[in-house]
Amino acid sequence: MTDSQSADAAQPITQIDFARAGVVTPQMAAVAAAEGREPEDIRAAVATGRIAIPANIHHASLAPAGVGSTLEGVPLSTKVNVNLGISGDLADEALEWEKVDVALELGADAIMDLSNSGKTRAFRRALVEKSPAMIGTVPMYDAIGYLEKALIAITPEDFLEVVRAHAEDGVDFVTIHAGMNRRVIESFKETGRLTNIVSRGGSLIFAWMEATGRENPFYEYYDEVLAILHEHDVCISIGDAMRPGSGYDATDAGQIAELIEIGKLTRRAWDAGVQVMVEGPGHMALDEIAANMKLEKRLCHEAPFYVLGPLVTDIAPGYDHITAAIGGAIAASAGADFLCYVTPAEHLRLPDANDVREGLVATKIAAHAADIAKGVPGARDRDNRMSDARRRVAWDEMFELSLDPVRARAVFESAPPSTEGTCTMCGKMCAMKTVNDIMDGLVVDLDAE
């Protein structure tokens, strides 16, 4: 290698590379502006891994978003992800684009393309080209269709090829289930579970490991995975293959054994100049959530935490966006940085566009409620503006300040009030209108027509 080549190899590529070199990138500046923080505070936290800014060098349409908290422990706003993608049982690309439109309309911070059937690369590339939201994928889902091989015939080199393809296509973060190694599997088998392994990616890797007798390829070849991700500045979202799929299995030996391994993998990724997010549970009782958030932060060195739900009960199919929003609000208020939405269709079928809307709004409510609770700077401002608009009975302002303005206006207009300026809940007995009139010196006579 020549001196010139050596110098080129040392040039910063990833956000964490630049942050450690003392450089505030345009992406860091954008996050600082969006969060109302100083750019230097963002840079310092990115340098240590406390904040991740998933931003593939090929994603030209990206509006960068930060996930995590500053070195002083001041949290960024809680981010929200939408899952979608082409399914083998319902391979309707037009439907998936409808979901994308809903996600972007309602301000999703991230979209994960979980397509798992056929040739998905064209859809993935088009999504990256269109979306200002960060894009995530699970390369393991795509392996069989991309490689056109049976699972047992796939080699570790094949898995790396799929990871490389996703990185080259411009995705900003990839879920890699690298923590479920042989030690974790032994713990799982020894202790047992009610719902076993519910992670789709984790189940596929487990099946491959059992069929081949080999170590998890993403664990065995972790350094090679990191090299690919570093080249394109792809954030690794270390997947929780052993996340609990029922409240009964929460905080068990398998989950914690994997989390310990993920903590080690987090440091290795940072050492390789790769940004990290850590994925978490799952299904979990209310009283276990806060402790799990603290446990992840401790074991994974304060890496940003990305959680699914948690779902706080297992008996609400058709309403799991609510069970997840309850858990998500608690999780984020206790330190989680990123919430993956759950839709009403969870556990039942592939979600449609309306399910996406319902799930995303529920999760955004959870994220925003948590931001108020944990003191994210400026989080309460929008609520205060809404309250002021309600005091003034300024309906158009209320609609615009709503998380879902279209839904809010439609509900209001579905039942026109007989008294102008009110709604049909209280009509002429509207407390806001009554007090406003009195404060303006008017006489209030509710019996008058």
What DSSP character marks residue 14? S
Q: Is 242 annotated for ligand binding?
A: yes
Cβ–Cβ contacts within 10 Å for residue 425, how many? 9
What pLDDT score was predicted for residue 145?
85
Q: Is 241 annotated for ligand binding?
A: yes
Which 3 state secondary structure label does DSSP give 428? helix
105 CB-near residues (< 8 Å, 6+ apart): none
338-364 pLDDT per residue, tens: 999 999 999 999 999 999 999 999 999
Q: Is 240 annotated for ligand binding?
A: yes
Average pLDDT of 172-186?
98
253-309 pLDDT per residue, tens: 999 999 999 999 999 999 999 999 999 999 999 999 999 999 999 999 999 999 999
Strands 67-68 and 276-280: what pairing? unpaired
What pLDDT score was predicted for residue 7?
35
What pLDDT score was predicted for residue 89?
85
Percent of the chain, pLDDT > 90?
Answer: 91
- Residue 5 pLDDT level (bands cut at 50, 70, 90): very low
Q: Is 354 annotated for ligand binding?
A: no
Instruction: Please say whether the dihedral angle defined by the alpha carbons of residues 379, 343, 290 and 277, taken in this order, is positive or negative.
Output: negative
Furthest CA-CA distance within the chain:
92
Q: How far is CA 214 from the centre of its chain?
A: 31
226-261 pLDDT per residue, tens: 999 999 999 999 999 999 999 999 999 999 999 999
| Beta bridge partners of residue 280, listed in sequence order | 307
Which 3 state secondary structure label does DSSP give 28? helix
300 CB-near residues (< 8 Å, 6+ apart): 259, 262, 263, 266, 276, 278
Q: Is 347 annotated for ligand binding?
A: yes
Burial class of 204 by CB neighbour count within 10 A (0 to 12, 13 to 18, 19+): buried
Terminal-to-terminal C-alpha distance of the chain: 91
Could you give phi then psi for residue 235, rounded to 5 degrees? -75, 135
* 148/388: higher pLDDT: 388
Q: Is 199 annotated for ligand binding?
A: yes
Average pLDDT, the chain: 95
The DSSP code sequence of 312-377 is: S-SS-TT-HHHHHHHHHHHHHHTT--EEE---TTTTTS---HHHHHHHHHHHHHHHHHHHHHTT-T
Q: Is 235 annotated for ligand binding?
A: no
70-104: b (≥16 Cβ within 10 Å) or e: beeeebbbbbbbbbbbbbeeeeeeebbbbbbebbe
Domains in the chain, ordered, with CATH? 3-68 (no CATH), 79-373 (3.20.20.540), 381-439 (no CATH)
Q: Is 250 annotated for ligand binding?
A: no
Which 3 state secondary structure label does DSSP give 84? strand
What pLDDT score was predicted for residue 447?
67
Which tokens hold the place of 363? 């999760």
Q: Is 243 annotated for ligand binding?
A: yes
Which tokens hold the place of 387? 């309250």
Q: Residue 1 pLDDT > 50, yes or no?
A: no
Q: Is 306 annotated for ligand binding?
A: yes
Q: Is 279 annotated for ligand binding?
A: yes
What pLDDT score was predicted for residue 54?
98
Burial class of 307 by CB neighbour count within 10 A (0 to 12, 13 to 18, 19+): buried
Q: Is 141 annotated for ligand binding?
A: yes
The H or E element that residue 412 is part of is helix 405-413
Nearest-angstrom CA–CA distance, 92 and 94: 5
What pLDDT score was predicted for residue 446?
75
Nearest-angstrom CA–CA distance, 295 and 381: 31
32-77 pLDDT per residue, tens: 999 999 999 999 999 999 999 999 999 999 999 999 999 999 999 9
- Residue 9 pLDDT level (bands cut at 50, 70, 90): low
Q: Is 200 annotated for ligand binding?
A: yes
